Chains A and B, each alone.
Chain A
Amino acid sequence: MGRVSRINRKKVWSAVALVAIVGLLLLPVLVSLPALAGGGAPEAAAPPPDAAKPPDAAAGKDGAPKVEKARDVFYKTEGIVSGAPAPKTADNTQFYPRYNFESRVLLWFANQQHLYYGSFVLAVPIFCMIIEFMGIVSKDKAMAKKYDQLAYDFIKISLTAYSLTAILGGILIFTFLTLYPAFFGYLSSIFRPVMHIYALLFVAESGTIYIYYYGWDKMKEGLLKWIHVSMSVVLNVIGTTLMMLANSWIGFMMSPAGVDEQGRYLGNIWHAIHTALWNPLNVHRILGNMAFGGGVVAAYAAYRFLSAKTEEERAHYDWMGYIAMAIGVAFLIPLPFAGYWLMREVYAYRQQMGITLMGGLLAWLFIIQATMIGILFLSSNYYLWQALGRMRGAEKYQRYIKYLVFVLVVGFLIFITPHTIVMTPAELKAMGGQQHPVLGNYGVMSAKNGGINVIITTTVLSFIWYQRGNKIPTVSWAKFGNIFMGCFFGLAYANIVWLAIYGYYIPANVRVGLSVPQVATTLSCLFFMTALNLVMLKGAKESGPIEWGKISVRSQYALIMLATAFTWMMGLMGYIRSSVRLFWHVNEIMRDNSPWAYTHTTGFAANMISFNVLFFWVTILFVFWLGTLGAKKVPVEAKVAVPGRAPQPVGGH
């Protein structure tokens, strides 16, 4: 009786805790509601005390304050001028206090490190949520326990990273305040309410994550477990909102709205948040964070696999690496499409910006980006091929891998062929013009869309082979299913290649639209073929178990490569996105008059990105090491690699 009431009491307190957290989350939003609805609360709308008064804000003839109106640079709506113009800075220490070092590089470093950790701690709780939920709904007790342990392992890694994120955020703000006070002052004068909500949400996030982590053991059964998993939903809602608020600042810097031509705030904070590029940035960043987080956790698993002393450990970390990689790649696949949407919006916002990115000053960085994307896909495919090696019966697929390599590499080569070729004047002369008559055709978008879609479709094919590795379909229509699947893939490749060729013969605006059927083809392969495969494999005969831990060492290096490539690419794309503003702090509103308003050389940027990547990996290795310090015992509780009943990872093994 006493036990029951104790449990009930626990349930009540858990519910109270959850409600309190949700309340804490909603409180700042409620407080700031007038600012959102009414176009700015009085205190939010008022100009900063140090701001110069707008000339027409003086009292009118009849003594009543005269209201000045101006037009929004983006929305073209009229609004009441409620802020000072963007400061006109000059190259002196008043606007740009400095050490004897390039301030921009210091800021770059602080920003990038904060972003790496921020992305990681935003992504990992999403994995935890998914994996914990899978554990709850899993009917197999042993599997449920394994999933739960895995989710716990994930959150454990992210907890240390969480404090580092906060520390790096503090360093970033100090860097902004001390090195770019005029710019930061202007930005915060517009986003003041948003920044307060941001800070309060951070408090809510911290509270939730600590209760979520430390309450893991106390809330492991029944209703309490459901409350626990729902806390992870709350955690992720807060995390995603945090990210979207931070995105609004960079969105404003790239494509300002909510201000007039002089940069005067017009009182509508929603306009300043909801700029032309905000939503594409949000989608791209959420997907990117997930892919990056998957990569980092996979690298952690690889590190633990390589340093494992026992078979059990190896089996566990092999499995963990596989799941993390699968999650990472699941989000990597839609990432190019989200990137495409972002670029499209950039072009729609300012053609000039689009050309600077893709055809002009920063075009070479996009070739490097294409190379990194290719490396990501090659590494993922390589990992899947290696993973076939831990299944008995997968030999029937392994012999065809070389053809997949060929198709992948051809797609990759087209994808990375530069439009503007680096060459000596003698080579230019020998070539007879700026464009090569054969390879020049690979340098344009139509071919590249074909290339990347071929790569993704081949990755789907590799995954389907992996799913089938140790299985023989026994459904009566297996033969028909196989033929259908073969034809589907064949036609998909033909359609992608045909559309890529057809793209040369039609107007550019129609060509841009061609990416839709291409992407649809690729996604059809992904969804329909994976689903068909799963149906075919229902009740399939197993030709042997999956021997977790028996994967090659090379596969683990592929995972580390994958994670490093993610990190490098994130640094690169962040740099591209930021430097496309050229000499503007806020595009066309606030000019950067510091001595560092020039675009870095490609070589310098690449070195800087590499340094950031190296620094991140050194510090995250420290975080991993801390994770091992806290480990009391080997986290595997279920027996693994038992013939006939192997642990089943995501995807139905």
Chain B
Amino acid sequence: MTWLKLVEGFMPMQMLFELTLCVGLFALMSYLLKKNGLAIPMFWQGVLFWLFIVLYLKYRIYPPIPFSVRAIYGTVALVAVFLWMSATEADWKKFKQPILNVMDAVTPFHKHLRTGYLVGIPLLLWGFAYSSLVPSQEEPIELRTVHPAPPASTKVHGKTFVLQTSSNPYRVNPEGKYDQEFTNSLIVEQSMGRLMKPTANPWDPKAEGYLKYVREGGEVFFQNCHFCHGDNLNGRGLHAFAFNPIPANFTDPGTIAQLQETFIFWRVAKGGIGLPRESFPWASVMPPWEQHLTTDEIWKVVLFEYWHTGYYPRTWD
């Protein structure tokens, strides 16, 4: 349902809002129908609501949600329907009644239905069994660890960096001291819009200190990284779709926003080939950039990535 836009920046809340709205509407409809003597039986209320959730997840949300997540959501929705239907004794009786009617074959129609189920359910199970056993052409699922645990330290150009204690030497205030507060204060908004204060433009030739390093990092980025990671750092560069999976999307709150700068430094320096064992099957072709960039350039490009996305690197108390 791509015609109904999911607004960038508000998508997660939009989805929750839409669902809440729908539940409100259903409650209202149910109330009005009941008032006019057209109440929907409990059983069908439950079934229809569950179907609605399943269809909403399948067709409303885009890009498509992987099956594993839809299966989790669908199962939990089924549990929710059960909780709702069996919350009170009266509702539970009403919910069970159509099922019992079929099982007891209270009318000839129910008897036919029962026979239908007797044939249909085994057929359905057979179908499931068949489709799960039939050899598939599809590539198997890869349980890939996107953020592997980093080593305690990493050696780049002969120098050892302890990941827990090192810091970006270019995240500095005008006095040249490491200062997160100062650098964070130069970012005014976090989203894909304007990110810098009017007085804090890295491309101003007079910019000094932190801003100058951001500019230098940006130059490194656009000379080396943007072909894959994209102009907007969203992992959709010129060559991005030649890879599977596509390169990391830094604008996603689940990537660099969750990590320390030293983690990014380590990943950039060592590349796909330097991924630890737990990251099997190492589905990354990122070069080990230490072979092409200096240590300073790597730190600067990391600085630029945070500046551009508007995220703050993770720090510890």
Contacts and interface: CB of A to CB of B under 8 A. Distances in A.
A435 B15 CA distance: 16
Contact of A434 (B65, B146, B150, B260): B146
B83 A378 contact: yes
Contacts of A435: 249, 252, 254-255
A261 to B, nearest CB: 14
Contacts of B80: 405-406, 408-409
B84 A351 contact: no
A421 interface: yes
Interface string B91-117: 010000000000000000000000000
Nearest to B148: A360
Contacts of B232: none
Contact of A348 (B248, B313, B316): B316
Nearest to A381: B83
A444 B258 contact: yes
Contacts of B86: 554
Contact of B61 (A425, A427, A438): A438
Nearest to B181: A507
B222 to A, nearest CB: 21
A385 B84 CA distance: 10
B150 A352 contact: yes
Interface in A440-462: 440-444, 446-447
A507 B151 contact: no
A395 B91 CA distance: 12
B143 A428 contact: no
B312 A508 contact: yes
Contacts of A428: 66, 244-245
Interface stretch (B71-79, B200-208, B213-221): B71-79
B278 A361 contact: yes
Contacts of B84: 401-402, 405
A293 B253 CA distance: 39
Given A389-B89, A410-B16, A426 B252 contact: no
Given A444-B258, A552-B89, A424 B140 contact: yes
B37 interface: no
A351 B11 contact: no
A437 B315 contact: no
A187 interface: no
Contacts of B163: 351-352
B285 to A, nearest CB: 14
| Main secondary structure on A side of the interface with B | helix
Contact of A426 (B65, B139, B235, B257): B139
A55 B89 CA distance: 77
A348 B317 contact: yes
Interface residues of A, number: 72
A409 to B, nearest CB: 4
Interface in A496-528: 501, 504-509, 512
B313 A508 contact: yes
Contacts, number: 208
A626 B294 CA distance: 73
Interface string A410-429: 10110011111111111111
A574 B176 CA distance: 47
B65 A501 contact: no
A441 B69 CA distance: 14
Contacts of B248: 433-434
Most chain A C-beta atoms within 10 Å of own C-beta, residue among B19, B87, B144: B87
Interface string B134-155: 0000111111111111111000
B265 to A, nearest CB: 14
A437 B11 contact: yes
Contact of A441 (B12, B73, B164): B12
Contacts of A230: none
Nearest to A385: B87
B66 A427 contact: yes
A377 to B, nearest CB: 12
A382 interface: yes
B168 interface: no
B317 A444 contact: no
A416 B72 CA distance: 9
Q: How large is the interface on B (under 10, 10 to 19, 20 to 34, 35 or more residues)?
A: 35 or more
B223 interface: no
Interface string B163-182: 11000000000000000100
A437 B252 contact: yes
A363 interface: yes
Contacts of B6: 437-438
Contacts of A63: none
Contacts of A49: none
Contacts of A630: none
Contacts of B278: 356, 360-361
Contacts of B73: 413
A552 B89 CA distance: 8
A506 B64 CA distance: 29
Contacts of A501: 13
A424 B260 contact: no
Contact of A430 (B13, B64, B139, B190): B64
B131 interface: no
Contacts of A406: 20, 23, 80
A160 interface: no
A402 B87 contact: yes
A406 B19 CA distance: 10
B286 interface: no
A401 B87 contact: yes
A359 interface: yes
B213 to A, nearest CB: 19
B5 interface: no
B79 A378 contact: yes
A432 B11 CA distance: 16
B67 interface: yes
A425 B145 contact: no
Interface in B2-29: 6, 8, 11-13, 15-16, 19-20, 23, 27
B160 interface: no
Contact of A422 (B138, B143, B184, B255): B143
Contacts of A405: 80, 83-84, 87
B132 interface: no
Given A385-B87, A402-B84, A435-B252, A507 B312 contact: yes
Interface string A303-344: 000000000000000000000000000000000000000000
Contacts of B246: 429, 432-433
Contacts of B27: 402-403
A436 interface: yes
A347 interface: yes
A560 to B, nearest CB: 16
Contacts of B244: 425, 428-429
B88 interface: yes
A567 B250 CA distance: 40
Contacts of B199: none
B16 A508 contact: no
A355 interface: yes
A348 B316 CA distance: 7
Interface string B242-280: 001110110011110110100000000000000000100
Contacts of B36: none
Given A405-B87, A439-B69, A446-B253, 16 more contacts: A352-B149, A355-B147, A355-B149, A360-B145, A361-B148, A406-B20, A409-B79, A417-B69, A420-B146, A421-B68, A427-B66, A429-B245, A435-B254, A442-B12, A444-B254, A507-B313
22 contacts: A348-B316, A355-B149, A355-B150, A359-B146, A386-B87, A388-B88, A405-B80, A408-B80, A409-B80, A418-B69, A419-B146, A420-B143, A420-B147, A427-B66, A433-B248, A436-B65, A436-B66, A436-B69, A437-B6, A438-B11, A441-B12, A508-B313
Closest 6 A/B residue pairs (Cβ) = A507-B312, A508-B314, A423-B66, A441-B12, A356-B149, A422-B68
